[in-house]
Structure 1
Amino acid sequence: MRSGTNPLDIAEVAKKAGWTVQPLKKGSKKDLTYSEGGGFSMNPPAGSGESLYIQYHPGCGHHGESAYYKVSSPKNGTLRIDLNGKVLK
């Protein structure tokens, strides 16, 4: 991911690759669209064998004020990455 990449661009790339992109299902931004200030989750196509899961969080939650991506996989666990590409703790 390049530093400063727009979250909507990431979602569009995921959609074109067949991923499901939908609003977050938990937390204070639950079911809010990006244009309403919410985030989104991205899941690989069913049956792809891919177990990677990506979320975009707009911030202002229990993980901090700044927006970030959450990337989860069985192999690497969960990483939170800010919009500048820095891994968060």
Structure 2
Amino acid sequence: MEKNPKDIVDLLKNQGWTVTPLKDGRYAGISFDEGGGYSMNPPVGTSGSSRYVQYHPGKGHHGEFPYYKVSAPNEPVVRIYSNGRYELDFKKLGVKTYHIER
């Protein structure tokens, strides 16, 4: 079953995550209800506190489709698009970006 971004936010908030509008880029500070995205961070002090999940509404430099971005230290950035495509981005690790289609 496909989830609405608000469903994901509710699930993570119930687990103690902090949810805010995106902080940078075209949608910085714009709420989801006004067409923006989400930045979701785990509780401070947990083993995953340096990781984050973002929801981007799309139509930016990563393409037209909305997507989720998952980032963690020493791991590639993962983008999962609403059309089923996903991307592994190794740039922060000093490696070329790979696009993988399903």
Q: TM-score, normalised by structure 1?
A: 0.88
Q: Which residue of 1 aligns with 2:7?
A: 9
Moved over 6 A (4+): none
Backbone CA RMSD of aligned residues: 1.5
Deviations 1:30-58 (A, max 9, x none): 10000000001000000012132100000
2:27 maps to a residue whose letter is K
Q: Which residue of 1 aligns with 2:67?
A: 68
Question: 1:73 Cα deviation (Å)?
Answer: 1.3
Q: Which residue of 1 aligns with 2:26?
A: 28
Give yes or no for contact 1:5–1:83 (8 Å, CA) kept in 2. Answer: no
The count of aligned residue pairs is 87
Q: Which runs of 5+ in 2 are unaligned?
A: 88-98
Query: 1:83 & 1:20 partners in 2: Cα distance?
Result: 23
Question: 1:74 Cα deviation (Å)?
Answer: 2.2
Which residue, 26, 39, 43 being the options, matches 2:37? Answer: 39
Q: Which residue of 2 aligns with 1:79?
A: 78
Query: 2:8 & 2:84 partners in 1: Cα distance?
Result: 13
Sequence identity (%): 52
1:20 maps to a residue whose letter is T
| Greater gyration radius | 2
1:61 maps to a residue whose letter is G
Q: Which residue of 1 aligns with 2:95?
A: none
Query: 1:38 & 1:8 partners in 2: Cα distance?
Result: 12
Question: 1:86 Cα deviation (Å)?
Answer: 3.4
Q: TM-score, normalised by structure 2?
A: 0.78
Q: Which runs of 5+ in 1 are unaligned?
A: none
